[in-house]
Structure 1
Amino acid sequence: MVLSGLDWRSSRPWTVVGVAVVCLVAGVLTFTRDSRPAHADPTALPHTTVEVSASRCGRGWSAPVSGVQVFDLHNPTDGAAGVLLEDPGSQAVYGEVEDIGPGTTRELTVRLGKGAYAFKCVPDDADAVTGPTVRIAKGSSGPAAAPVTEHDLIPPALAYQKWVGNGLSDVVRLTTALRAAVDRGDLAAARTAWLPAHLEYERLGAAYDAFGDADGAINGTDAGLPGGVHDKDFTGFHRIEYGLWHGESAAGLRRPAAALLKAVTALRDEWAQARMDPAQLGLRAHEILENTVQFELTGRTDHGSGSSLATARANLDGTVEVMSRLHPLLATRYPDLPALESELKRAGTVLDRFRHGGAWTPLAKLGHRQREDVDAVLGDLVERLASVAALCDPRRTV
């Protein structure tokens, strides 16, 4: 899919920058790009200025108190640094701020209670340094989670990459059937073959960045192209979709169908040498459905087939697959994991109501209440999966 002439899957940075704290939402650890919990007014909370530097990491926290509070993290050095507030024994993280620039101060808002705490300063160009341990005698802390390292993410990433390879083989097989139908001039069969091939590709959502330019050729839209749907650079599944549902002849579709099959075959053959970045796996679990809400549920990617809800279901399947790989890491870090997995199943049930054999209800045919149900369940999942992205963001510990 294309946004402003760029593939939307690579138009956003795949990093969580400036992530800060931890806020208690339904008892789970939630990291957000904002540096404070929504319920906290930082002007009414106690503030403590803490130094972020290799020589004086954590200095300034000399009068510890329990409860929700703000740490003003000041970096007096000439290089950027990140900070973790952690349990010095277990290294469970209570809060984090990344990329504190030279000479700047950033806020970290946390709820602290009985326990031991220490700031860990992580300069960009030096080893991590742990500051002095501070103890609080009473009160209840907010949630914490053991940090995930890139090493932890390698096994699930390798398993997922192998699954993607199998999926690409299925994409090639199904696209071969699509091309054959076009070549013999059977447009009804081509319309029937188009959807399974496209959905099989859509299930591979967490791998799109690793596909590189191939994804634009395979699954790009006409967005940003000067000629729109008639532009010579409009290719792939959506180019064929447009032709199949807008009366184009089989002769006109033969070249796009051949090009699509060539592209997916090349991607399948090259995938064995590809290497996914393990650090992106958790973030992709969130981004798949975030983009589903932004593009599929707005109809921006529908070029005539009315299959947006089918694509949303395939995206959900892809998210479930990623989550199955991450489950062992999240089981001990994310208390709300059972509720999230239950919500994933519920979302599948909601979407499946609109499947009728091999056909799906178009978005425009949904009733008001039906549309609300779809938006609500997927919107809730996007919110929950933001915590997965944050928890699986690898952290330097040395």
Structure 2
Amino acid sequence: MQAVGRGARAPRRRIASAVAAVLVLAGVLALGLGHGRAPRTAGSAGTAADGLPHTGVEVSPGRCGRGWDTPVPGLQVFDLHNTSDRAAEVILEDPGSHAVYGEVEDIGPGTTRSLTVRLGRGAYAFRCLPEDADAATGPTVRVDRGRSGPAAAPVTAHDLIPPALDYQKWVAGGLREAVRLAVRLREAIDRGDLAAARTAWLPAHLQYERLGAAYDAFGDADGRINGTDAGLPGGVRDASFTGFHRIEYGLWHGESARGLRAPAAGLVTALTALRDDWAQARMDPAQLGLRAHEILENTVQFELTGRTDYGSGSNLAAARANLDGTRAVLTRLRPLLADRYSGLSALERKMDRAETLLDGFRHGGRWTPLDRLSRSEREKTDAVLGDLVERLASVATLCDPRRTA
């Protein structure tokens, strides 16, 4: 977990644009991808070079969904053409249950975006949601045969409030423990026992790493507590390099206890202030699913590349703590995901596998450094964590609150 602007982790938010652009409902073929050809006009239909049936559909407040006049079952493409003067989001849904089959966001005025879905027996309607305007629902279209791809009931912001509040309480307890462990680290440094300080550093750091889904609500405090020297003019000797990694660098590069007293005191002060302020903090419930994905996305990008190692060789330990943090989010989202995400059981099994794999690199209080892994161990670790990142993208998408009006 690293602060944007203080560490190297600025790409944290890039998944948001990908999720916003295209809905991927737990592996559903709702890709919103272009097909390398001229867009069809609304009302046109036929088979394109990709071999799939294409139907042009109009996107506008007054003519939402117009053009879909000859429904067919099976895998097909809708070319959504925005004829209005403002960008719009389009959802293909069951008009009765409002279960979502596919979504494309940010269709600009006069532009066409494609939505690929598999449709079977059932009723369907397009819902058009223009920016700064009321939603409009197109005519209901019925398909009389075939089997459709899975759909998911939309998650609302209201649905996410209870799990977000419960998660905030969990974070509060985690911050209290982080302060306690940081005080132990500071005390070891204050009495000049650097061996004890090196032993105390890792539990304190891992406790903070487990709180990864809350980083956005931590604000600038995250940078003071867990920032790196990336982008700092003085590098590791810059006065703005503070927190866990500043202390890690000193402990594993021969710095004296005297030189580490101020950074240790600063860490305790920053963590204590964050703990005390947390009661008034408010996480955005709409971000909870996205954060579950981002924790491990950053793990792969920074921990598994060693970019946050300042001497302790504890990247795999941090990755394991990040798995704990991801699990904490998923546990609270599970009631929402249980009947929406068909891949939930497989995701949980993959989480178990990843935890077992990383636990194998722990030897008492020590962890195997990244550069001590064999090639096969490194490849397996990258593959297991990378697979989890892909699966968690579906969680982020399914828990992205849908606009309904």
Instruction: Please list every run of 5 or more consecutive structure 1 residues that lacks an aligned counterpart in the other structure.
Output: none
1:110 alignment partner, one of 111, 117, 126: 117
Cα shift at 1:195: 0.3
State the AA in 1 paired with 2:57.
V
CA distance in 2, matches of 1:7, 1:162: 29
State the AA in 1 paired with 2:216.
D
Cα RMSD after superposing both structures: 1.9
Name the SS for the 2:280 alignment partner: coil
Match of 1:200 in 2: 207
Cα shift at 1:15: 2.9
- Write the deviation string for residues 210-232 of structure 1: whole angstroms up to 9, x where unpaired: 10111011000111111111111
CA distance in 1, matches of 2:237, 2:323: 31
Query: Percent of pairs identical after alignment?
Result: 71
Equivalent positions of 1:187-336 (< 5 A) are: 187-336=194-343
Note if contact 1:199-1:311 (Cα within 8 Å) is conserved in structure 2: yes
1:387 aligns with 2:385: no
Kindly tell me: are residues 72 and 242 of structure 1, through their superposed partners in 2, closer, same or farther at Cα, counting changes over 3 Å? same
State the AA in 2 paired with 1:152.
D
TM-score, normalised with respect to structure 1: 0.94
CA distance in 1, matches of 2:30, 2:392: 11
CA distance in 1, matches of 2:154, 2:179: 39
Match of 2:33 in 1: 35
CA distance in 2, matches of 1:95, 1:253: 54
Structure 1 stretch displaced more, 120-129 or 175-184: 120-129
Cα shift at 1:139: 1.4
CA distance in 2, matches of 1:196, 1:245: 16
CA distance in 2, matches of 1:259, 1:176: 11
- Write the deviation string for residues 231-268 of structure 1: whole angstroms up to 9, x where unpaired: 11111000000000000000000000011110000000
CA distance in 2, matches of 1:297, 1:269: 32
Kindly tell me: are residues 71 and 221 of structure 1, through their superposed partners in 2, closer, same or farther at Cα, counting changes over 3 Å? same
Equivalent positions of 1:359-378 (< 5 A) are: 359-378=366-385
Name the SS for the 1:232 alignment partner: coil
State the AA in 2 paired with 1:15.
A
Match of 2:170 in 1: 163
CA distance in 2, matches of 1:160, 1:13: 23
Equivalent positions of 1:15-94 (< 5 A) are: 15-17=16-18, 18-22=20-24, 28-29=27-28, 35=33, 43-94=50-101
CA distance in 1, matches of 2:56, 2:11: 38
Note if contact 1:75-1:104 (Cα within 8 Å) is conserved in structure 2: yes
State the AA in 2 paired with 1:77.
S
TM-score, normalised with respect to structure 2: 0.93
CA distance in 2, matches of 1:43, 1:101: 24
Cα shift at 1:137: 1.1
- Write the deviation string for residues 118-160 of structure 1: whole angstroms up to 9, x where unpaired: 0011112122211101111111211210000000000000000
Cα shift at 1:43: 3.4
Aligned length: 391
Name the SS for the 1:180 alignment partner: helix
Match of 1:12 in 2: 13
CA distance in 1, matches of 2:270, 2:77: 52
Cα shift at 1:30: 7.0
Cα shift at 1:53: 1.1
Cα shift at 1:36: 6.7
